[in-house]
Amino acid sequence: MKWFRSLKTTMNLWTVFSVIFVLLVLLPNLSIIVQFFAEPNENWLHIREYMLQNYIQNTLILVFFVGILTLFIGTSLAWIISAYDFPMRRFFQWGMILPLAIPPYIGAYTYHGILNYTGVIQTSLRNQFDVTVNQQYFNIMNMPGAIFILTIFLFPYVYTITKAFLARQSTALVENARILGSSSWRIYFRVVLPISRAAIIAGVSLVILEVLNDYGVVSYYGIQTFTTAIFQTWFGMGDLQSAVKLSGTLMVIVLGILVVERIARGRRQFSFTTTKVKLLQPVKLEGRKKWYAFSFCMFIFSIGFIIPVIQLIYWATMTYEQLFSHDFWQLIWNSVSVAFTASTIIVIMAVVISNFARLNRGMLAKTFPKITILGYSIPGAVIAVGVVTLFTALDRQLFGFYEWLGLEPTLLISTSLFMLVFAYVIRYLAVGYNSIESGFDRIGTNFTEASRMLGMSVTKSFFKVDMKLIRGAIFGGFILAFIDIMKELPLTLILRPFNFDTLATKAYQYAVDEMIQQAAIPSIFIILVSGIAIYVFHHVLEKE
């Protein structure tokens, strides 16, 4: 009864929509969750005996190092760029997001292509200087190599989210620390890291989830992780049930991490409410210092963007005839339109759910955020199976209706783009959600409460007050989701309608056959489109 009463008091449109959205996310995952409780079969025992321990160990190593490295690279860049002025700072502000435009598996192929025996470095050494090097020194296909690739192409998650926080919210504390004479390092460790904890955690957990789900990089570099185990079981043994059981385990681990994080954060609030948002004023660096700051940024930017892009362009010049044989405009249009549609839906859903969750107490409000992560914690290919099951069942239910309309009983929804967009939304809801949640986190609820006290409804308060405060976060979430979808592979491959190709599927079809030169042109287009999105995003924010 008590529960019912509390439900009644919180009942409004936000609640209704949140519940609907969360159910939509849950539905396709149900078929996966059910499998999780299935009896273990022989293959499962085999996996446990021969594979699991090693795979878990590798996964932990990978997650730990990529997590730590992205944390330090992302936050230190965010700090330097927000707090200091030095050459090219204005460019780096958005340039540092660009590595995100390169799909990590393309980055993995590219760096291997640069460093291997037929790569540009070894070839020049051999042909110009007659030096043949020990292959071990140039081998990137190992654990450190995978950590490097994943770090360098994923750190922008931490960078963007932390920087958005620092620029707007840290001014008072940082300026006080400056006045009190703290050194830059001291401020970084004693002030910046602690106060941006919520933002850092949001960023790092996106990175960790990406790493847990990565299949392209680890399988190419021959590193056995949890995801490899899932696919080995599915593809090698043809046992989808055990594969799903493994994904379920992964999901439980991820949810566990998130719960621990919530508990650790406890009741401490990290939001500041002042009547005016004061932007952090960058201090102009002089002399040697400004070149240190510049070199650090330039170094990261080079390995994360310039070097791989130059290599891709070089390969593209070898295969430029392709430009005439494929319709790249069509590919770009396909990629952009589905990514745009899906990210818009993601942002709307994320705003609704997170606004509901922050303004309400109780079970529902606490559980919903975790459910949004669900899709992001399972490998895309496994989600695809859940989505196909759901939509085929839906189509079957609708057979009668189709017949009434005079259509052949057939699969209408599950052979349409609708299914693909739906799957994207489930998969990447967490990306939009995390960004928007951390936006809400830093404004707290004071403004909203004030607005409610003055008699505005939740909806009115949202449009008149909250949305204006978190627009940066909303845009950030949109752009991150958009770029992720541009790069997405397994869902697109398996759920697309007939004859529907995107840039990512084109790049994949060549890369998987080790025809990296041919994969270069579609890859460059992915980077170009995502790069433009990043630039526009920055420009819009800047203008404010």
**Near other proteins in 157-176, by CB under 8 A:** none
**Number of residues this chain uses to bind other proteins (CB under 8 A):** 82
Picking from 360, 400, 402, 172, the residue whose alpha carbon sits closest to that of residue 280 is 172
* Positions 30 through 59 that interact with other proteins (CB under 8 A): 46, 50-51
- CB of 117: closest distance to other proteins in angstroms? 4
Reading the block at residue 71, the tokens are 């944390």
Q: Which of 222, 256, 362, 400 binds other proteins (CB under 8 A)?
A: 222
Q: Of these, 493, 528, 535, 541, which contacts other proteins (CB under 8 A)?
A: 493
**Which 237-266 positions form the footprint of other proteins (CB under 8 A)?**
237-240
Distance in angstroms (rounded) separating the CA atoms of residues 532 and 5: 50
Contacts with other proteins, 316-335, as mask; x by CB under 8 A: --xx-----x----------
CA end-to-end span of the chain: 48
Close Cβ partners of 130 (under 8 Å, ≥ 6 residues apart): none
Q: Using the 8-state DSSP alphabet, how is residue 470 labeled?
A: S
150, amino acid identity: L
How far is residue 228's CA from residue 230's CA, in Å, rounded to a whole number?
5
Among 132, 176, 183, 459, which residue sits at the site for other proteins (rule: CB under 8 A)?
132
Of 494, 528, 535, 541, which one interacts with other proteins (CB under 8 A)? Answer: 494
Smallest separation, CB 122 to other proteins (Å): 8
**Partners of 85 in beta bridges:** 284
Q: How far is the CB of 410 from other proteins (least distance, A)?
A: 5
Q: Is the dihedral of CA 504, 509, 515, 521 positive or negative?
A: negative
Interface with other proteins includes 340 (CB under 8 A)? yes
Give the whole-angstrom CA distance, residue 373 versus residue 30.
Answer: 14
Task: Give the nearer residue to other proteins in terms of CB position, either 119 or 282.
Answer: 119
CB of 165 to other proteins, least distance (A): 20
Binding residue (CB under 8 A) for other proteins from 265, 509, 528, 535: 509
What is the footprint of other proteins within residues 138-157 (CB under 8 A)?
141-142
Which CB, 117 or 292, lies closer to other proteins?
A: 117
- If you write DSSP's letter for every residue of 263-277 in order, what string do you get? HHHTT-------SS-
Interface with other proteins, residue 392, by CB under 8 A: yes
Binding residues among 68-107 for other proteins as defined by CB under 8 A: none
Contact 519, 527 (CB under 8 A): no
* 330, HSE (Cβ side, Cα atoms, 13 Å): 10
User: Based on CB atoms, which residue is closest to other proteins, 132 or 271?
Assistant: 132
**Residue 496 interacts with other proteins (CB under 8 A): yes or no:** yes
Q: Residue 506 has which token pair?
A: 């084109």
- Given candidates 57, 281, 410, 459, which one binds other proteins under the rule CB under 8 A? 410
- CA separation for the pair 544, 531 (Å, rounded): 21
